[in-house]
Chain A
Amino acid sequence: MKKYVSFFKMRFQVGLQYRSASIAALTTQFLWGIMEIAAYRAIYLSSGKEPPMEFSALVSYIWLKEAFLAMFNTWIATDGDIFSVIMNGDVAYELCRPISLYRMWFAKSVGGRCATAALKCVPIISVAALLPRPYRISAPESITAFCFFLLTLFLGLLVTVSFCMLVYAITLFTISPQGLRALLTGAVEFLSGAIIPFPFIPQPVRGVLEMLPFGSMQNVALRVYSGSLAGGEALRAVWLQIFWIAALVLVGRAVCRRAEQRMVVQGG
């Protein structure tokens, strides 16, 4: 266990090195958030009906989504080094080590995501807290909600990483893995609530999306924060998150083991 903790630490510290490089990325994300909120504002203002989500809750959702983008991202190469290791054949060196490939990558991935998110969430949230009213992020609903938010954020991260690990394990079987990853991760964006928050989706579809593993990624934490998800419903979501972590890890490890047995390294 100790060695995997140190893999986590190592990757976390490497991630923290890119402090200055992310200013451009921060600006991009910030403008993205503003534009998204502006669009929703226009939609809310022209609608006479009661919207399914309070505007302040929606604003918090959008800012938190931007702040923790790196944690839940499956499309941009957050785990770039794992991928290049598969591509360039260096995975052979990794296999020589007396450690489990799955656990090492898991620890590295969690570390890298935490580092990037830690760098980004502080500036984004603090600027979002200083904006004028309709665009400002509100404080968490209550202290309990905030604790729940931290817990579900962590669980959501584990669901995301274990899903990505499953994808990596599958790509070990192919020669050029980018395509497969593009297809699998392309589907995730909508299913995880990154395009529109779940409350906007009408019922039968929404129920299905909430049961899927993707619904256990960022959806839970971002909605718990603003109280859009609370009480018994939130508790059930936590259990579902734990279930999906267990299931994805079990399947991922099995696939990874199979891949390790029949891996072909093509030169390097």
Chain B
Amino acid sequence: MIIYLKTGIGFARLCEKRFGKEGIMRKGIMVYGRYVSVVLRSAMQYRLSFFLMAGGRFLIAFNGFLGIYFLFSGFHEVKGYTYGEILLCFSVMQLSFSLAECCANGFKKFSGIVRKGEFDRMLVRPVSPMLQVLGSGFDLGRLAPAVTGVIVLFVGIGNCSVDWTAARTAALFLMLLGGICLFAGLFMIEASVCFFSIENTECMNVLTYGAKEHGKYPIDIYGKGLMRFCTYVIPYTLVQYYPLQYLLGKTDRWQYAFCPFGVVPFVLLCYMLWRVGVRHYKSTGS
């Protein structure tokens, strides 16, 4: 833990040295906002197409809900989790995935950016390349599944008997926040892989889309082996299983609510991988 803290402080110092104390955050936010506004305006040129596309994405996410709904009209529980509890889990995963995808979509487009040689141009500009990748890839349409997420969240809350104390509500938000960071980190890995091989990065889909899809059930139903993988290799359980135990009142350990903070070192590792990638970057020359 201390090592990670030190890395964080060192990273902050590095930022200060490069950009001066004042203004690095403000400048970053401003540039990102400018990107978002440009991307939104260009999407609004094809307004109908944009909304139809978003509608399609909404439907696909909603299909997942329908699946659980009908499945649980016959069955009533999975390993002690009731219908409402599964819905809570499903909605948290949908929400965090789609929020992360909306903001970090640039990472997913990164192989295209490298292939077309656009990254060369980004490197010569006096703004952080990551900010440019993120800004240019912003995609509001990816938020459509979040609508499903919100609907399902309310259906889930109505269908389970959780006593909503302040601590439990906070745990829910921590799960969401942690989930967004975790998925953003995974997208960052997906982009970083492009520095070393421009071949398709389809293997990463298992870790991103797969986690969103199969993470609708609490991870412990898949057995011990997968639990270990999802804790020690990619820390999914820290944003899903452990805080969920506290949220649903299946454990008295309040510490579980703070598990989502555990993704911070993971995201830092992803960021380091990205840095290594940028340092090793060779243009494709096209």
Contacts and interface: CB of A to CB of B under 8 A. Distances in A.
Interface of A: 21, 24-25, 27-28, 31-32, 35-36, 38-39, 42-43, 45-47, 49, 51-52, 75, 174-176, 178-187, 189-190, 195-196, 200-202, 205
B66 interface: yes
Interface in B195-234: 200, 202-203, 205-206, 210, 213-214, 217, 221-223, 226
Contacts of B55: 179, 182-183, 186
The 8 closest A-B pairs by CB, nearest first: A182-B56, A179-B52, A186-B59, A179-B49, A186-B56, A195-B67, A42-B221, A190-B63
Contacts of A184: 56
Interface residues of B, number: 40
B203 A205 contact: no
Interface string B30-57: 0000000000000000101111110111
B223 A190 contact: no
Contact of A195 (B63, B78, B214): B63
A250 B176 CA distance: 49
A75 B79 CA distance: 33
A243 to B, nearest CB: 26
A175 B46 CA distance: 9
Contacts of A36: 214
Given A42-B79, A195-B64, A205-B70, A176 B46 contact: yes
A24 B55 CA distance: 29
Interface of B is mostly: helix
B182 to A, nearest CB: 18
Given A28-B202, A36-B214, A49-B74, 18 more contacts: A24-B202, A25-B202, A31-B206, A31-B210, A38-B221, A38-B223, A38-B226, A39-B217, A46-B79, A46-B80, A51-B75, A178-B53, A179-B53, A182-B55, A183-B55, A186-B63, A196-B71, A200-B70
Contacts of B64: 195
A53 to B, nearest CB: 10
Nearest to A185: B56
Given A75-B60, A189-B63, A202-B70, A27 B49 contact: no
A28 B206 contact: yes
Contacts of B53: 178-179, 182-183
B60 A42 contact: no
B72 to A, nearest CB: 9
A38 to B, nearest CB: 5
B90 to A, nearest CB: 12
Contacts of A186: 55-60, 63
Contacts of B67: 190, 195-196
Contacts of A75: 60
Given A28-B205, A195-B67, A201-B70, A183 B222 contact: no
A202 B60 contact: no
